[in-house]
Amino acid sequence: MNGSTTIEHRMLSGLVRKPVRDGRGNVIGALSDIVVRLGLEGYPSVAGLVARVGSTSVFIPAADVSDLTDDGAVLSSARLDLRPFERRPGEVLLKEAVLGHRLVDVGNARLVRAYDVCLERTPTGWAATGLDVTPPNWLGRRRAGESSLRDWKGFDVLIGHAPSATLRARWKRFDGLRAAEIADLIEDATQPERDDLFQHLHEDPELEADVIEELDDDEQAKVLKSRDTADIAAVLSRMHADDVVDAVLDLPQERRQAVVDALPEPQRRDVLRLMRYQGRSAGGMMGIEYVALPASATVEQAIAAVRTARTQQPQALTTVYLTEDEQRLSGAVTLVALVQADSTSSLKDIAEAGAVSVVPSDDVVTVVTLMSDYDLLSLPVVDDADEIVGIITVDDALEEAIPDDWQQRERRRHTS
């Protein structure tokens, strides 16, 4: 939004219910709303006004509006089309769909309410360029000279507004928001707002899965239970096996088997394997994606293996594990050590002496204590034969260790 004081602008709240006059100054009705047309770029342009004439709401095209003033709207003609107003695709009524409704403040990753809309005269006509999302004082007023307008483009507006949903679904509205931040928005949203947010997310299945993965257990279960088996399996197919297990176990028992059966192979095998372990144990916390190489492998080979592991979680790639006799753990090398070592060196020459590990039955306290004592970003889980069966990443360990009420604290977001 242009911040110059020479730009002519009007506030929506100051126009609603004001008179609509013809070119001779005669009052012919009252302004009840302003219609804007959404576009994929730029600001929404004013397509026209909705005026109350007698008991009928009529549409006045923007071309017939000569001015918007503090006293209302002035028309260039006295002629009106008295047919009842009908909204066309891509058109939005600002008072009906924006004023008083909640929006996504993308820059601050939170839900806010629109208290006013700024309309600005541009070279091509009037457009909605700003939003006021700061609550007025208890008298509904602001201090003289106080400005709380922000750029329209900083918000995902019109939550829950079905007529414009198809057009808005094509917008890249979640650019810059992390999956965890979108999950916070959903947890704070009303059901119509959630429906709208998920309609956006459905256009990006990978992001949708990441967001559902970030929801707390109760919210995640609520979202998944509302979907049919095929939809649940489609979402879970984009998640890592350990997170799928948690999601499946939160479903009603009678639905679990059907969902697991609908998962693609080999994910289904991995999920069934992990479901054997208890939730708050090392086995229940571990994932089964990691990089393991023979101790005789070179640094160059290890870096290449990390580089090509594009489907694995970044947290699982912070350490490369050394194995002997198939999967028996013999050591570990951090990614930093690999990058700093000579590319022709063998892993056994730069590996840390003695690899720290846990067994599937170890509890959360043991896991967290070991990771803290040895400054580990990941911790291998081994069976009775010392063969690796999975690893626990630091984010999963923290998730289990942090008290539930701490996890509900508002996330701080720093923007440049």
Nearest-angstrom CA–CA distance, 397 and 282: 9
pLDDT in the model for residue 170: 47
Mean per-residue pLDDT, 17-24:
90
Superfamily covering domain 1-144: PRC-barrel domain (2.30.30.240)
Mean per-residue pLDDT, 85-108:
83
pLDDT band with cut points at 50, 70 and 90 for residue 57: confident
pLDDT digits (tens, 9 = 90+) for 110-140: 888 999 999 999 888 999 999 998 887 665 5
* 185-191 long-range contacts, CB within 8 A, separation 24+: 185/104, 185/109, 185/110, 185/111, 186/211, 186/215, 186/219, 187/215, 187/216, 187/219, 188/110, 188/111, 189/102, 189/111, 189/159, 190/102, 190/160
Length of the chain, in residues: 416
CATH class of the domain whose range is 174-276: mainly alpha
Backbone angles phi, psi at 108, to 5 degrees: -110, 5
Domain map of the chain by residue range? 1-144, 174-276, 285-401
CATH no., domain 285-401: 3.10.580.10
**Closest C-alpha to 263, from 287, 286, 230, 285:** 230
Q: What is the pTM of this model?
A: 0.69
**Closest C-alpha to 377, from 313, 322, 327, 334:** 334
pLDDT digits (tens, 9 = 90+) for 157-194: 555 455 555 545 444 466 678 888 889 989 988 888 88
pLDDT digits (tens, 9 = 90+) for 261-282: 999 998 999 999 999 887 789 9
